Chains A and B, each alone.
Chain A
Amino acid sequence: MHSFSRPSTPTVDAPREARPGRCPECGAEAIAAYRVMSEGGWWNVVKCQVCLHSIERTPGPLLGAFTPLGAPSWER
């Protein structure tokens, strides 16, 4: 989004979406998908919530939630 309004709640949370499945490393059934900042910038990850093993890591949006407006070639 280009223009971001101030959140209406006093505190803010990062969404974490529960996923079905089992961790291949520890076998736990607590998998979640969310966005993290790590080496290489933003990543969308699917991780075991017990042992923190990454089941999936795909690059996230370059600038996170901020998308500049007005650059037609930005879509690439």
Chain B
Amino acid sequence: MTSLRSLDDAAFRARYGCTRFDATVLGNRFAYILEHFCSKLLACAFSPVLRDFYDFAATLTGPPERGYPTPVVSKSFVAFTGTMTESIRNTIEEYGPERLTQGDVIIANDPYRTGTHVNDMLFIRPVFHGGALSGFVNLKCHQLDMGGSVPGGFSATKTSSYENGIVLSPRALMKEGRPVDETWTLIFDNVRFAELLRRDMQTIIACLDLGERQLLESMERYGRDAVLGAMDYVCDADAERMAEALAAMPDGDWTGEALLDCDGVDASEEYPLRCAIRKRGARIEVDLSGSARQARTSINGTYLDAKTIVGVVLKFLLDPHGAFTSGCYRPVDIIIPDGAVFSALPPEGVVFAYGESTNALLAAMFSALAEPLGRGAVGGDTGAPNIHSAFGARPDGSPWVSIGVGGGERGPWGGSSAGDGDSYSIFMSANSIDTPIEAAEADQPLAIMRREYLADSAGAGENRGGAAVLKDTLWREAASHNLFTLRFKWPTGIGVRGGEDGGPGGVWLWRDPPGAGQRPRDGWAEAIGVAGRMDPVSHEPRPDGEWQYFGREKLWRTEAGATFRYLSNGGGGWGDPFARDPERVLADVRNGYVSLAGAARDYGVVILGDPGRDPEGLTIEGAATRALRDRADCATQSATAGGEDRA
């Protein structure tokens, strides 16, 4: 196929039914149509989940006759992006495109049909132009509640899909602009916070109206064929970018692996996730065979989540600034076994915390692709949501709840060609605003006593990973705690191109209150090891330490004054740490990211001075540094030579 940029006017028009001018303008227009109605959604909706977590996505989709192309996804949660292509097709094909009329809104929320989890309701507005079905305007929005056994739904310990609450197969919410009463009542008879949900749904419909109006205006102005042609063009351009990026990579076969430590039942079963990647020319195959079967509790995802994360990883590594469309998958075949932890099936394969398996798949692919990407490789990140929830009653008996504040919700990213990784971020495939400590302390009985980076925890590298976040939370009332940490057995911050893995994370607990006026907790020995790998005696985190299962108590109950410590995994290093500029190592020592001992051990840089008392008086001992680094060079060379001998 000729490349898009070499198409002349006539060829372009023949293929896309419009000029390149119009295709360019329309391509921009699609993105803006979404931005306009997402702006409206963010302004008008009540829900904090949308505003703080971007927990929604919007797309435009072409009509069935074109194969439902998705030329644009909104600036929102990437975890939705890949599911939004197939879920529109799945929903409309099951509902029956011939039954659609102008003014309809079709909904569905079944993860086995539409991906992610039941709280993410999909709303589809079919768009008719001149009587012909001409596309769809879509929103998928996290709803505050969908009924089921857990308020809000967030739980990794549900054991069947029946606990998830209401599961909707494709159906009409609106028909010809009028509400379908039985659908509204079906939903609101089954969910909590129904009044709020109802108003947010009305806002969502108004947003779809706006999107539909603007898409129709474009069709009026440019013609239906031009608009649909431009949709094809934008998808083709994405497919071409992906194919060119693939072609630029060497051919080869690579494998990667990551682990979910366990599920919520017990520690008897590990869940390894594997990918075998084969790349030939501009084609790639990602085979997820050999991965763990679906888990016994709600840490599973569906095939659409697996599809999404494969596309997201390829975008991350190969085309981070291009538009994400359905065309990105054209050169990509994903082989997904049924009944795996990322392709669970009902009713036992209960889906909720789908982000656990997608995090692990991301890590497996990052590690598989590290070698062929060379300088483009990126070190691994903190790797998991690590959400801590707690609840209890205040002295006056009123209940309180704390979700996603007192755990390991933030951690580092890996090093890359751009430099060292940041240390305080959410896992890569999510993006949300952090809760301020003062806001949390104003309405929950807790005090975050420490939230600081741990020295020597970052994976060493020419560009190192971000440092691990050490966070101590003092719970000022008696509380019950629900923990869920699935990525502490193996490093998640994998090193690439000779960089080191990040240090191990974990969870610790001091049950007794600190003495009056006492400084924040120091050390590890007196704490109970709750989760992660640690020394059995000193309780210090150690990559080869004993692994503790958080689920040995289903609810950790504590009296007032207990402290939970979360240590995130460290970020992965990029490139040989012994090639790091000694001045940068010195700066790291001055800034407490690396200790004096760590500088010599991990970077081969000997630094003299007292970083604690005299941070500006540090110096590099040149001769000793050269000696250390030369010795490391010799060791590497002899190891390589030995390898060649054997070969």
> Hey, which bits of chain A sit against chain B, CB under 8 A?
1-7, 9-14, 16, 34-41, 43, 45, 47, 50-53, 62-66, 68, 71, 73-74
Q: Which of A39, A50, A63 has the most CB of B within 10 A?
A: A39
Q: How many A-B residue contacts, CB cutoff 8 Å?
A: 122
CA distance A11 to B289 in the complex (A): 8
Binds A, one of B336-344, B358-366, B372-380, B524-532: B336-344
CA distance A7 to B340 in the complex (A): 8
CA distance A9 to B333 in the complex (A): 25
CA distance A70 to B240 in the complex (A): 42
Verify if B456 is at the interface (C-beta below 8 Å from A).
Answer: no
Q: What are some 10 contacts across the A-B interface (CB < 8 A)?
A: A1-B345, A2-B346, A6-B294, A12-B291, A37-B336, A39-B327, A41-B90, A47-B333, A52-B333, A65-B338
What are the residues of chain B within 8 A of A50 when measuring CB–CB? 280
What are the residues of chain B within 8 A of A52 when measuring CB–CB? 278, 280-281, 283-285, 333
CA distance A6 to B263 in the complex (A): 14
Inter-chain contact B291/A11, CB cutoff 8 Å: yes
Of the residues A7, A63, A66, contact of B293 by C-beta under 8 Å: A7
The chain A residue sitting closest to B326, CB to CB, is: A39
The minimal Cβ–Cβ distance linking A68 to chain B, given in whole angstroms, is 6
Contacts of B294-317 to chain A: CB distance below 8 A: 294, 296, 303, 306-307
Of the residues A6, A64, A68, contact of B349 by C-beta under 8 Å: A6
CA distance A3 to B68 in the complex (A): 29
The chain A residue sitting closest to B271, CB to CB, is: A10
What are the residues of chain A within 8 A of B291 when measuring CB–CB? 11-12
Inter-chain contact A34/B335, CB cutoff 8 Å: yes
CA distance A62 to B336 in the complex (A): 14
CA distance A35 to B589 in the complex (A): 53
Inter-chain contact B289/A14, CB cutoff 8 Å: yes
What are the residues of chain A within 8 A of B339 when measuring CB–CB? 4, 6-7, 12, 65
Inter-chain contact B281/A51, CB cutoff 8 Å: yes
CA distance A71 to B67 in the complex (A): 24
Inter-chain contact A68/B169, CB cutoff 8 Å: yes
What are the residues of chain A within 8 A of B288 when measuring CB–CB? 14
The minimal Cβ–Cβ distance linking A34 to chain B, given in whole angstroms, is 6
Verify if B113 is at the interface (C-beta below 8 Å from A).
Answer: yes
**Given contacts A7-B294, A36-B333, A68-B169, is CB(A74)–CB(B345) below 8 Å?**
no
**Given contacts A14-B288, A52-B280, A52-B285, is CB(A41)–CB(B86) below 8 Å?**
yes
**Given contacts A6-B348, A14-B287, is CB(A39)–CB(B329) below 8 Å?**
yes
CA distance A10 to B67 in the complex (A): 37
Inter-chain contact A4/B269, CB cutoff 8 Å: no
Inter-chain contact A13/B337, CB cutoff 8 Å: yes
Verify if B290 is at the interface (C-beta below 8 Å from A).
Answer: yes
Inter-chain contact B293/A10, CB cutoff 8 Å: yes
Verify if B446 is at the interface (C-beta below 8 Å from A).
Answer: no
Inter-chain contact B296/A6, CB cutoff 8 Å: yes
Query: Which secondary structure characterizes the binding site on chain A?
Result: loop
Bitwise, B260-293 to A at CB < 8 A (1) or not (0) is 0000000001001010001011011101111111
Verify if B93 is at the interface (C-beta below 8 Å from A).
Answer: yes
What are the residues of chain A within 8 A of B94 when measuring CB–CB? 62, 68, 71, 74
CA distance A45 to B283 in the complex (A): 14
The minimal Cβ–Cβ distance linking B99 to chain A, given in whole angstroms, is 10
Verify if B334 is at the interface (C-beta below 8 Å from A).
Answer: yes
The chain A residue sitting closest to B303, CB to CB, is: A64
The chain B residue sitting closest to A50, CB to CB, is: B280
What are the residues of chain A within 8 A of B338 when measuring CB–CB? 4, 12, 14, 64-65
CA distance A22 to B96 in the complex (A): 40
The chain B residue sitting closest to A1, CB to CB, is: B345
Inter-chain contact A39/B345, CB cutoff 8 Å: no
The chain B residue sitting closest to A51, CB to CB, is: B280
Inter-chain contact B303/A14, CB cutoff 8 Å: no
Verify if B54 is at the interface (C-beta below 8 Å from A).
Answer: no
Verify if B73 is at the interface (C-beta below 8 Å from A).
Answer: no
Verify if B369 is at the interface (C-beta below 8 Å from A).
Answer: no
Inter-chain contact B303/A11, CB cutoff 8 Å: no
CA distance A63 to B93 in the complex (A): 10
What are the residues of chain A within 8 A of B329 when measuring CB–CB? 38-39
Question: What are the 8 A-B residue pairs with the smallest beta carbon separation, nearest first?
Answer: A4-B345, A36-B333, A39-B329, A7-B293, A14-B337, A13-B289, A12-B337, A65-B338
Inter-chain contact A62/B112, CB cutoff 8 Å: no
Verify if B332 is at the interface (C-beta below 8 Å from A).
Answer: yes
The minimal Cβ–Cβ distance linking B247 to chain A, given in whole angstroms, is 13
Of the residues A11, A38, A43, contact of B290 by C-beta under 8 Å: A11
The minimal Cβ–Cβ distance linking B258 to chain A, given in whole angstroms, is 14
Of the residues B89, B113, B293, contact of A6 by C-beta under 8 Å: B293
**Given contacts A11-B272, A14-B336, A36-B333, is CB(A65)–CB(B345) below 8 Å?**
yes
What are the residues of chain A within 8 A of B307 when measuring CB–CB? 37
**Given contacts A12-B293, A37-B334, A39-B239, is CB(A5)–CB(B348) below 8 Å?**
yes
CA distance A3 to B346 in the complex (A): 6
Verify if B330 is at the interface (C-beta below 8 Å from A).
Answer: yes
What are the residues of chain B within 8 A of A41 when measuring CB–CB? 86, 89-90
CA distance A45 to B328 in the complex (A): 19
Beyond A41-B86, A71-B169, list 9 extra A-B contacts (CB 8 Å): A11-B290, A14-B335, A36-B285, A37-B307, A38-B329, A39-B326, A52-B284, A53-B283, A64-B343
Verify if B536 is at the interface (C-beta below 8 Å from A).
Answer: no
CA distance A51 to B284 in the complex (A): 10
The minimal Cβ–Cβ distance linking B9 to chain A, given in whole angstroms, is 27
What are the residues of chain B within 8 A of A45 when measuring CB–CB? 333
Verify if B347 is at the interface (C-beta below 8 Å from A).
Answer: yes
Of the residues B112, B274, B287, contact of A66 by C-beta under 8 Å: B112
CA distance A14 to B274 in the complex (A): 12
What are the residues of chain A within 8 A of B272 when measuring CB–CB? 11
The minimal Cβ–Cβ distance linking B288 to chain A, given in whole angstroms, is 7
Inter-chain contact A38/B334, CB cutoff 8 Å: yes
Q: Which of A4, A37, A51, A65 has the most CB of B within 10 A?
A: A37
Bitwise, B607-637 to A at CB < 8 A (1) or not (0) is 0000000000000000000000000000000
Inter-chain contact B93/A62, CB cutoff 8 Å: yes
CA distance A55 to B288 in the complex (A): 22
CA distance A3 to B290 in the complex (A): 23
The chain A residue sitting closest to B296, CB to CB, is: A6
